[in-house]
C-alpha cells in the first residue's frame, strides 16, 4: 500500500493519516492529499462542521488512490482536539498501528512519512520510549526551515540537525506532521478536547513526556507549512515570525496558556517562557494589530478565564 515500510522491525507499520478541515481552501487541500496519500495506507478527512462537496477532490486523484480516502463529517465545529480524536478513534478501529495528524494547509515533501517511521524505529531500537516524531517545517514562501525546539532556562531554543544526525530530541511537536504510535495513544490518552483550539498539541506532548515518553524530530522529514494569512517579524528573545490570527484566537491562546500552566505536568521552564511570551504578545498586538479594542477585550477575557480554569468553546 503506502510507502511506509520500515526496516526497524519484523512487521511494517500501517499508517493512517488524519486531516482535520474547517472551511478548507480546495486547491491547497487537493495539493496536500495528492502529496501525502501515496505515502499512507489510508487517509481520513474529518471536517469540523463545514460541509463541502468532496467529489471534485476525489475525482482529481489518480484512481489507485481514491479507495484510500475516507471522510467523517462532524455536525458542528467541535474544536481541534475533538476532531483529531474522532480521527484517532477511526484509525484505531481500522487496525492501523500509527496515526499521522495533519492540518489542512500543510504539504509534506516526498518521503516524509517514511522518514518519520525510520526515526521512530531508530529511537525504539535504542530502547527509548518514543512517543511521537515530527518533521522540520519549511516556509513555502521563504524556503527557510524551522528546525526543532527545546526548552531553555527562560526561553525556547531553536535547534538544527547537524550533517551526521538523523533524529533530534525535542520538547515540542506541533500537531501537523506528528506521527504517533497507536500504543502510545492508548497509554497517554486522547487529545484534550476541553482546550478547543491552541495548545492542544502542547498539552498532549507534555502529558506524554510526563509518562516517560520522549518526542523527536526527524531530520530528513520536511513539510511545507504556513503560519497563517498574515505574519509580522518581531524580536522576542530572537527574531520570530508571529502569526496574525483573529481576536478570537488571541482569546484561546491566552486562556489555554494559563490553563496549561496550572497542570502538574507542565514544565516550569515552559511556564516561565510562556508567561513572558504572553506579556510580549499582549503589548505587540495592542501596538500593531488591527481591531485593537476587540483584541484587548478578548485577551483580557482569556486571562480571566484562564485563571479561573474555564475551558471549552468561547461563548459570545
Domain boundaries, the chain: 15-225, 231-308
Tell me: the pLDDT tens digits for 273-316?
999 889 989 998 898 888 999 999 999 999 999 999 999 999 98
Tell me: the pLDDT tens digits for 59-82?
999 998 999 999 999 999 999 999
226 class by beta-carbon count within 10 Å (0-12 exposed, 13-18 middle, 19+ buried) = middle
Q: How confident is the model at residue 9 (pLDDT cuts 50, 70, 90)?
A: very low
Mean pLDDT for 263-277 is: 94
Output the pLDDT for position 12. 87
- pLDDT at residue 163 tops 90: no
Mean pLDDT for 42-68 is: 95
Domain 15-225 is found in CATH 2.40.50.1020: no
CB < 8 Å & 24+ apart, contacts of 257-260: 257/199, 257/306, 258/302, 258/303, 258/306, 258/307, 259/195, 259/199, 259/306, 259/309, 259/310, 259/311, 260/195, 260/199, 260/202, 260/203, 260/206
- pLDDT at residue 84 tops 90: yes
Output the pLDDT for position 244. 79
- pLDDT at residue 4 tops 70: no
- pLDDT at residue 267 tops 60: yes
Average of per-residue pLDDT values in the chain? 91
Output the pLDDT for position 36. 97
Question: Angle 247-261/292-308 helices, nearest 10 degrees?
Answer: 20
- pLDDT at residue 242 tops 80: no
Output the pLDDT for position 237. 59
Maximum mean pLDDT: which of 61-70, 93-102, 223-232, 236-245: 93-102
- pLDDT at residue 187 tops 70: yes
Angstrom distance (rounded) from CA 135 to CA 120? 12
The residues near 71 (Cβ < 8 Å, ≥ 6 apart) are 44, 45, 46, 47, 54
- Using a pLDDT cut of 70, give the percent of the chain over it: 91
Tell me: the pLDDT tens digits for 99-158?
999 999 899 999 999 999 999 999 999 999 999 999 999 877 777 888 899 988 777 889
Mean pLDDT for 235-260 is: 84
Output the pLDDT for position 288. 81
Select the more confidently predicted residue: 192 or 284: 192
C-alpha pair distances (Å), 223 with each of 103, 170, 253: 11, 17, 24
Output the pLDDT for position 152. 80
Q: Strand ranges (DSSP E) for the chain?
A: 15-21, 42-48, 69-74, 98-103, 107-108, 130-139, 148-151, 156-159, 167-170, 178-181, 214-225, 231-235, 239-243
Task: Dig out the grid coordinates for 106 from the structure.
Answer: 500543510
Q: How confident is the model at residue 7 (pLDDT cuts 50, 70, 90)?
A: very low
Q: How confident is the model at residue 43 (pLDDT cuts 50, 70, 90)?
A: very high
Amino acid at each position: 500500500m503506502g510507502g511506509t515500510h520500515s526496516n526497524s522491525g519484523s512487521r511494517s507499520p500501517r499508517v493512517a493519516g488524519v486531516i482535520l478541515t474547517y472551511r478548507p481552501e480546495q486547491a491547497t487541500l487537493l495539493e496536500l492529499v495528492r502529496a501525502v496519500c501515496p505515502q499512507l495506507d489510508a487517509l481520513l478527512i474529518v471536517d469540523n462542521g463545514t460541509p463541502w462537496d468532496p467529489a471534485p477532490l476525489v475525482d482529481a486523484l489518480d484512481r489507485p488512490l481514491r479507495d484510500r480516502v475516507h471522510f467523517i463529517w462532524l455536525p458542528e465545529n467541535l474544536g481541534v482536539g475533538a476532531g483529531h480524536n474522532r480521527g484517532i478513534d477511526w484509525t484505531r478501529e481500522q487496525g492501523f498501528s500509527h496515526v499521522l495528524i495533519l492540518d489542512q494547509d500543510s504539504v509534506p515533501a516526498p518521503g516524509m512519512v517514511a522518514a518519520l517511521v525510520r526515526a521512530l524505529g531508530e529511537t525504539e531500537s535504542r530502547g527509548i520510549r518514543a512517543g511521537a516524531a515530527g518533521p522540520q517545517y519549511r516556509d513555502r514562501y521563504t524556503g527557510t526551515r524551522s528546525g526543532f525546539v527545546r526548552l531553555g532556562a527562560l526561553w525556547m531554543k531553536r535547534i538544527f540537525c547537524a550533517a551526521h544526525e538523523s533524529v533530534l530530541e525535542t520538547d515540542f511537536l506541533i500537531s501537523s506532521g506528528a506521527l504517533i504510535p497507536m500504543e502510545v495513544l492508548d497509554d497517554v490518552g486522547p487529545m484534550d478536547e476541553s482546550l478547543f483550539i491552541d495548545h492542544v498539541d502542547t498539552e498532549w506532548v507534555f502529558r506524554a513526556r510526563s509518562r516517560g515518553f520522549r518526542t523527536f524530530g526527524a531530520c530528513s522529514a520536511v513539510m511545507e507549512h504556513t503560519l497563517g494569512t498574515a505574519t509580522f517579524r518581531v524580536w522576542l528573545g530572537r527574531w520570530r515570525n508571529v502569526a496574525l490570527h483573529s481576536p478570537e484566537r488571541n482569546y484561546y491562546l491566552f486562556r489555554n496558556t494559563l490553563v496549561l500552566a496550572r497542570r502538574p505536568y507542565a514544565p516550569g521552564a515552559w511556564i516561565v517562557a510562556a508567561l513572558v511570551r504572553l506579556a510580549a504578545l499582549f503589548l505587540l498586538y495592542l501596538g500593531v494589530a488591527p481591531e485593537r479594542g476587540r483584541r484587548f477585550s478578548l485577551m483580557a477575557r482569556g486571562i480571566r478565564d484562564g485563571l479561573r480554569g474555564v475551558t471549552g468553546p468561547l461563548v459570545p
